[in-house]
């Protein structure tokens, strides 16, 4: 070959949109394409972008393979660059065309570094070293750098994972996936949005349960709508006083995925005190008897997909009806920093139903949720107040149960709100500006 390298610029058309958005499949295919052509793989780095698109590169001893995908067009742009003549990049081309289920592709080959235009320089390599030479990597060792990214208009969260997807199934409602991340353990996502991880789920689940339980010590019957990961009922079932705990989850695949891959969260599904129902929580609450529950926890995902109906005034009015006269409703109420408009709207709705003086906001730090600051709502039908609770009992309970986040001090401190949150809670829908929100409010 009369050149230093071969560079093929590739375009694949009418690829499977599903595969073009699957970072695990693309990374595996790119590595396999390199190895099939006889290349020595050194490193792979891949990112998935939410809601769609994948970028990545496989570094080989002979140069690299790079890609960017547009799933919405079924299109992939690929670079195949190999040095020397020991690796044939066209082998990689054919492999990827099949792997991406492309109807056709186009390619242009360039010879890089034409030898007749180059002059070889003689030099002493040792004289160029300013640091000690690094030990040669173990033959056959591949460094994988594969990333899951949840991205919104202005912010993103990226978590590096092993490249091995533990679970991926589509239900009638959503896509359920589990990734093995390096920093936070196994990660559950629904339609590409982070739900919980092994290493920080306890914050959410302890705060959504223990705050209402210690301010409503006479509670006997509790209902959880959503919460198919099992963490909320795990915490509720620590209380012997609860005679009945009912969990209504619409998607059985969420339960299945968490039983398999987040077993610490899903540990309570076999508890005999748990009444587990796989059905629509909105339908269940409509058919529920008046004043049936002392505590109702709405453990919902974001207000999209199957969770959208859990963010309406009609739904919260039904919840109010189903609470006993001293009952409490707890919801996850989004991040005041992430989407201020939604935050203001839902609190305005709670106040209209329960009364402004009966609705309280409290905060917790959850690193894998947008902005890291997350809120919960506490709405009482009767006279229960979140800061009227058994302080000594909460301290003893936290210690005895080995809780990781909740204690008596956190209970009180969670209701100490920053000024900007207080301003949002006093605002009306439509009055919110972009001053505090990470997402556009209009």
Residue 370 labelled as part of a binding site? no
Q: Please, what sign has the CA dihedral across residues 49, 77, 98, 39?
A: negative
Q: Report whether 174 belongs to an annotated binding site.
A: yes
CA-CA distance, 30 to 36, in Å (whole number)?
10
> Is-catalytic flag, 63?
yes
Secondary structure letter of residue 303 according to DSSP: S
Q: Is 98 a catalytic residue?
A: no
To 10 degrees, what angle do helices 391-401 and 201-215 make?
140
299 is in an annotated binding site: yes
What does the DSSP 8-state code read for residue 17? H
152 is in an annotated binding site: no
367 is in an annotated binding site: no
Cβ within 8 Å of residue 42, ≥6 positions away: 59, 60, 61, 137, 142, 143
Beta strands per DSSP E along 217-322:
221-226, 244-249, 274-278, 293-299
Give which of 404, 380, 422 is closest to 204, Cα–Cα.
404
Given the residues 22, 161, 299, 377, the one annotated as active site:
299
Q: How many CB atoms lie within 10 A of CB 199?
A: 16
Which tokens belong to 99? 């792997």
Q: Would the annotation count 249 as a binding residue?
A: yes
Q: Helix, strand, or coil here: 145?
A: strand
Output phi, psi for 83, to 5 deg: -95, 150
State residue 278 phi and psi, 5-degree precision.
-95, 95
Name the DSSP class of 228.
T
- Catalytic: 68? yes
Q: Which of 83, 258, 322, 361 is catalytic?
A: 83
Q: 384-412 in b/e burial notation, b at 16+ Cβ within 10 A?
A: bebeebeeeebeebbeeeebebbbbebbe
Give the Cα separation of 39 and 31 in Å (integer).
9
Q: Which of these is catalytic: 29, 50, 63, 340? A: 63
Do the beta carbons of residue 13 and residue 103 sit within 8 Å?
Answer: yes
From the CB of residue 273, how many other CB atoms can be counted at a distance below 10 Å? 14
Q: Which residues is 331 bridged to in the sheet?
A: 298, 377
In degrees, rounded to 5, the angle at the alpha carbon of residue 254 between the alpha carbons of residues 283 and 280 is 5
Is residue 409 marked as binding?
no
In angstroms, the CA 364 to CA 161 distance is: 25
Q: Choose, from 16, 68, 88, 152, the residue flagged as catalytic.
A: 68
Closest residue by Cα to residue 378 from 209, 224, 218? 209
For residues 241 and 262, the answer to whether their CB atoms sit within 8 Å is: no
Question: How big is the chain by its Cα radius of gyration, in Å?
Answer: 27
Annotated binding site: which residue ranges? 174, 205, 229, 249, 280-281, 299-302, 306
Annotated binding site for spermidine: which residue ranges? 205, 229, 299-302
Annotated binding site for S-methyl-5'-thioadenosine: which residue ranges? 174, 249, 280-281, 306
Q: Which residues are catalytic?
A: 63, 68, 83, 299
């Amino acid at each position: 070959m009369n050149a230093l390298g071969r560079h093929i610029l590739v375009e694949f058309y009418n690829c499977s949109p599903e595969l073009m958005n699957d970072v695990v499949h693309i990374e595996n295919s790119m590595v396999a394409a390199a190895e099939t052509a006889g290349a020595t793989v050194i490193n792979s780095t891949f990112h998935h972008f939410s809601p769609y698109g994948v970028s990545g590169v496989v570094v080989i001893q002979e140069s690299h393979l790079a890609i960017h995908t547009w799933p919405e067009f079924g299109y992939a742009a690929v670079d195949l660059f190999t040095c020397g003549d020991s690796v044939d990049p066209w082998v990689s081309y054919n492999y990827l065309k099949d792997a991406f289920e492309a109807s056709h592709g186009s390619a242009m080959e360039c010879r890089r570094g034409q030898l007749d235009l180059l002059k070889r320089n003689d030099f002493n390599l040792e004289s160029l070293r300013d640091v000690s030479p690094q030990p040669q990597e173990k033959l056959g060792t591949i460094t994988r750098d594969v990333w899951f990214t949840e991205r919104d208009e202005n912010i993103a969260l990226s978590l590096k994972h092993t490249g091995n997807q533990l679970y991926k199934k589509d239900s009638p409602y959503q896509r359920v996936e589990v990734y093995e991340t390096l920093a936070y353990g196994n990660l559950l996502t629904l339609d590409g949005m982070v739900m919980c991880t092994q290493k920080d789920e306890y914050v959410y689940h302890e705060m959504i349960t223990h705050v209402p339980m210690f301010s409503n010590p006479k509670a006997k019957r509790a209902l959880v709508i959503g919460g198919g990961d099992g963490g909320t009922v795990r915490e509720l079932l620590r209380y012997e006083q609860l005679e009945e705990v009912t969990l209504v989850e619409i998607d059985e695949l969420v339960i299945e995925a968490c039983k398999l891959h987040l077993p610490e969260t899903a540990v309570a599904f076999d508890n005999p005190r748990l009444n587990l129902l796989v059905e629509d929580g909105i339908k269940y609450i409509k058919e529920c008897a008046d004043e049936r529950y002392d505590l109702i926890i709405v453990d919902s995902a974001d207000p999209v997909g199957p969770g959208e109906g859990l963010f309406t005034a009609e739904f919260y009015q039904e919840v109010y009806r189903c609470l006993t006269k001293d009952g409490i409703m707890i919801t996850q109420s989004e991040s005041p920093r992430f989407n201020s408009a939604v935050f203001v709207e839902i609190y305005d709705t709670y106040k209209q139903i329960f009364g402004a003086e009966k609705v309280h906001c409290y905060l917790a730090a959850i690193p894998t949720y947008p902005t890291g600051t997350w809120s919960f709502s506490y709405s009482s039908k009767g006279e229960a107040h979140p800061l009227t609770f058994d302080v000594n009992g909460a301290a003893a309970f936290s210690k005895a149960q080995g809780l990781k986040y909740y204690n008596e001090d956190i209970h009180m401190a969670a209701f100490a709100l920053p000024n900007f949150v207080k301003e949002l809670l006093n605002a009306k829908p439509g009055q919110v500006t972009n001053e505090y929100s990470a997402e556009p409010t209009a």
